[in-house]
Amino acid sequence: MQRTIRLLLAFCSVLGLGLVTGGVAQAAEAGEKVCYRAHIANVGWTQGWKCDGGQAGYTGQNTPIEALEIQIWGLGTFCADAHLRDFGDQAPQCASDGQVIRVGTTGEARPMEQVSIRPSYLGLWGRAHVQNVGWEKPDSGSEIEIGEAGKALNLEAVELWIQ
């Protein structure tokens, strides 16, 4: 199954398409764009894909993000990893322009505390809503770290955008 998904992603990437809604490929807009979706504890992937600053996750409901899928166009390759409660840092996942990567876990009740994203070109921004902290200041640069690693605080919502 994963091999089939990888082949579909590669095929879509070659054609300039991206997986952005429920497994349906849609043409990526020309230029720079970031889309992402959150797997939320006890909720799942139900919010769907958010793009260019849309909020993935919930604030004030103590519902942690457990996994995040990210797709970026127009900034070249990018890598991401997550810091998970009672586990620590995951190995980085990397993708080419337009490909989807997933960090975190599903079905393991393991909240994300932080996500780090490393685009090959500058321009990506992000911020997180953290349990008992609220919205953090936006971060950008060659490594974007959003959330609070090692403090046992849930990553509850994420916003990503290109500027």
Residue 21, pLDDT score: 41
Residue 51, pLDDT score: 98
Residue 30, pLDDT score: 56
Residue 19, pLDDT score: 44
Instruction: Name the stretches of the chain with pLDDT < 70.
Output: 1-30
Greatest alpha-carbon pair distance for the chain in Å reads 44
> pLDDT by residue (tens digit) across 126-145?
999 999 999 999 999 999 99
Q: Where are the domains of the chain?
A: 31-162
